[in-house]
Amino acid sequence: MRALDLVHEIEKLDSYKRFGKVKQVVGLMIESRGPESSIGDLCYIYTGANNKTKIPAEVVGFRNEFVLLMPYQQLTNISPGSIVEGTNEPLRVKVGSALVGQVIDAFGKPLNETMLPKGLAYVPTDQSPPNPMKRPPIHEKMEVGVRVIDSLLTVGKGQRVGIFAGSGVGKSTLMGMIARNTNADLNVIALIGERGREVREFIDRDLGPEGLKRSIVIVATSDQPALMRMKAALTATAVAEYFRDRGMNVMFMMDSVTRVAMAQREIGLAVGEPPTTKGYTPSVFAILPKLLERTGTNELGSITAFYTVLVDGDDLNEPISDTVRGILDGHIVLDRQLANKGQFPAINILKSISRVMNQIVDPMHKKSATRLRDLLSTYLNSEDLINIGAYKRGSSKEIDEAIRLYPKIISFLKQNVEDKVTSEDSIHSLIQFMETGEF
C-alpha cells in the first residue's frame, strides 16, 4: 500500500520546468514572454554572470501575451533576455514554535542572518478567511494589561480592534505595553513600512527582552519594494493563523495597515489600475477586508488583533481609516491633544468603542464604565464655561460631581509604561472608583 501511495505522489509531481524571457522593465513592473503561470505564482529572474543570481518576483497580472512580474527585491542587473523561471506555486514560508523569539522578514528568514531552526512546516502566505458559520461567538475577555482598555474598552478573545492615531502619539508604545502585559499564549507583531531605526528601537525599548521571548516579529521596512511590504502583512497573518489552528490564543498586532494599503496602491498603479479615492486603487479596498477578516476566531483557537491606522492630519474620515473602521470590531482613538497634556496612553475614551464589550462584561462593570463616560462627557461639554468662571457651583448636580471627580478620572486613565495592571485589578478599581470616588 505504501508503494502504491508513493507511485501516486510521484505521478502528481510536475516534472516540467517553465521558463520565459524578460521583454522590458517599466518602472516597478517587469514584462516577460512566458513562463506559463497564474496570478500570485512565485518566479525567479536569473541575472549576473552565468545567471548565478536569482531575484524572486511574483506574477501580478497579464498584458496581451506578456506576464507582468513585480520583484521582491530591488531591480538590479535585470536586462532584456534575462531568464525567468516559473515555480507554478505561490510564496510559502516556514512556520513553527521554534520561530518564537525571532525577528523575520516577509520570506520568514531571520533578519540576524542566522539559519532557520529545524522542525518548521511550510504554509502558504495567502489564505482564505474562516467560514463565518464556523466562527464561535466571542464570549471571553482578553487581558491586555492596560487599565483604560481592560476597564472601559474591554477586548474579547478573537476581537479585531483598530488603533487610530497620527504620527508620534504613542502607537508603538501602546503596542509594546500590550505585548508585554497580555495573557495571550503568543504575540505575532508585524512592522510594515517602518523606518529602519524604529524597528530596533521598538524591539529593544518598547517590546523589551521580556516581550520578545513570547513574540514573533515580522519586519518590512519602508525602503523595501511594495510587494515585500504587502507580503510581510500576509506572512504575519499566516504565522498567526498557524498557531491559532493549533488551539492557541494569539495576540496579533500590525503597525500599520495604512502602509499596507499604500503598498497595494503602488502595486495597483504599476499594473495599470485607475486611481480612485484619494489616489487609492480599487484593489486596495478589495484586499483590506480579505486581510482583516483572516484574523478572529475559528473552531480551534483565536487571534485577537490590533491594527494601527495612521490618520492623515488626524482626519478620522480619510478613506483607509473609514474603510478599516467599518470592518473591525472596535476602534481606539489616540488623541494628540491628550498627548500634549501628558496623558499616556493618550486614548480618547469618548471617541473609542469596543463593539463586543457589552457581550463579555457583567452588569456592574458595564454600569460603572457607562457612568465614568457620562461624567467625563459632562465635564468636557462644560469645560469652556468652567475655565472662564462662567459656571456657578450648585447650578447642576451632575456638573458639580464631574468637576469634583475629573482630576481623579484623569489619574485613573493614566498609566506608566512600566506598570503592569491585571484585568481583574483594573475592573475592581473602576467599580470601586464609581462607588466611592477613590481607587
Q: Which of 227, 217, 279, 284 is nearest to 254 (CA)?
A: 217
Pairing of strands 92-95, 121-124: antiparallel
- Each residue of 250-289: pLDDT tens digit? 999 999 899 999 999 999 998 888 988 788 999 999 999 9
Distance CA 49, CA 134 (A): 53
Rounded to a whole number of angstroms, the CA Rg of the chain reads: 25
Surface-to-core class of residue 114, CB atoms within 10 Å of its CB (0-12 exposed, 13-18 middle, 19+ buried): exposed
Q: Which of 107, 159, 152, 191 is nearest to 327 (CA)?
A: 159
Given this model, what pLDDT does residue 259 score?
A: 94
Distance CA 110, CA 91 (A): 17
Q: Which of 78, 65, 72 is nearest to 36 (CA)?
A: 65
Given this model, what pLDDT does residue 282 score?
A: 94
Query: With contact defined as beta carbons under 8 Å apart, do 386 and 403 qualify?
Result: yes
Q: CA-CA distances (angstroms) from residue 128 to 237, 241, 423?
A: 11, 11, 33
Give the DSSP per-residue string, 126-146: --PPPPGGG-PPP-SB---S-
Within 10 Å of residue 424's Cβ, how many Cβ atoms? Answer: 11
Pairing of strands 302-310, 66-71: unpaired
Given this model, what pLDDT does residue 369 score?
A: 96
Secondary structure class of 169 (helix, strand, coil)? coil
- Which segments of 157-248 are extended strands (E)? 160-165, 186-194, 215-221
Helix axes 226-244, 257-271, angle to 10 degrees: 130
Averaged in consecutive runs of 10 residues, what is the pLDDT profile of the chain (439 residues)?
A: 61 72 88 90 86 87 89 82 90 93 93 85 92 93 95 96 90 92 95 88 90 94 92 96 96 94 92 87 94 95 96 78 94 93 93 95 96 95 86 88 94 92 94 88
- Each residue of 50-59: pLDDT tens digit? 777 888 999 9
Within 10 Å of residue 34's Cβ, how many Cβ atoms? Answer: 16
pTM score over 0.85:
yes
End-to-end CA distance of the chain: 70
Query: Cell 447642576 sits at which residue?
Result: 396
DSSP single-letter state for residue 77: S
* Beta-bridge partners for 308: 163
Given this model, what pLDDT does residue 78 score?
A: 84
Q: Which of 99, 322, 104, 98 is nearest to 231 (CA)?
A: 104
* Domains contained in the chain, CATH given: 15-90 (2.40.10.170), 93-358 (3.40.50.12240), 364-436 (1.20.1270.330)
Given this model, what pLDDT does residue 9 score?
A: 63
